[in-house]
């Protein structure tokens, strides 16, 4: 069975997303914000690779890569983060994914993420809940719009993407 049939919600996120991240401390005060561009790549039926580019108003830029393996209707992350992602079967509308992950170099920190997609699969919102030693540390709210299904064009032709990846690698 192809991934588009076995994991349609994950498969529908294949492409380029632009959005805005806002971080809040446990008291609800905004502590950071930045723009983002994410390249979500479903490669065949067994590989996923996500590249996040973050851009702050002061000119700071950051690139993060998240390779994953697709196995048993789940994403299994390896590399800088360890964790999983899967569709929520109880969601009868097929709009929700749940992720658990932790950064390899921060063993006391873990994050639960919920992704909600619109029915047309062109908009999504994500919520991260950060826990450190079992206590809520902060939350991240992310709003995104899918700007293209064609991540290959951005990877190979978009001048901003090429410039950022060359300068950050």
**Spans of all domains in the chain:** 3-168
Give the pLDDT confidence of 73-100 residue by residue, as tens digits: 899 998 899 999 999 999 999 999 999 9
**Is the confidence at residue 36, as pLDDT, over 70?**
yes
State pLDDT tens for residues 41-57: 998 888 899 999 999 99
pLDDT single digits (tens) 115-133: 999 999 999 999 999 999 9
User: Is residue 2 predicted with pLDDT exceeding 70?
Assistant: no
pLDDT band at 6 (very low <50, low <70, confident <90, very high): confident
Tens of pLDDT, residue by residue over 133-155, are 999 999 999 999 999 999 988 88
Contact 48, 41 (CB under 8 A): yes
Distances in Å between the Cα of 168 and the Cα atoms of 21, 63, 90, 149 are 20, 7, 40, 24
The CATH code of domain 3-168 reads: 2.40.128.20
């Amino acid at each position: 069975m192809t991934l588009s049939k076995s994991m349609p919600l994950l498969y529908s996120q294949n492409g380029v997303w632009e959005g805005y991240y806002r971080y809040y401390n446990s008291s609800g005060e905004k502590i950071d914000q930045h723009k983002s561009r994410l390249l979500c790549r479903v490669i065949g039926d067994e590989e996923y690779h996500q590249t996040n580019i973050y851009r702050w108003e002061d000119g700071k830029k950051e690139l993060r890569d998240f390779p994953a393996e697709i196995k048993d209707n789940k994403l299994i992350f390896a590399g800088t983060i360890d964790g999983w992602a899967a569709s929520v079967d109880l969601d009868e509308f097929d709009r929700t994914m749940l992720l658990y992950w932790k950064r390899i170099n921060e063993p006391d920190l873990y994050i639960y993420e919920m992704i909600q997609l619109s029915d047309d699969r062109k908009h999504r919102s994500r919520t991260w809940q950060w826990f450190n030693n079992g206590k809520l540390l902060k939350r991240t709210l992310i709003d995104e719009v899918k700007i293209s299904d064609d991540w290959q064009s951005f990877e190979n032709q978009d001048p901003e993407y090429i410039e950022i990846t060359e300068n950050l690698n």
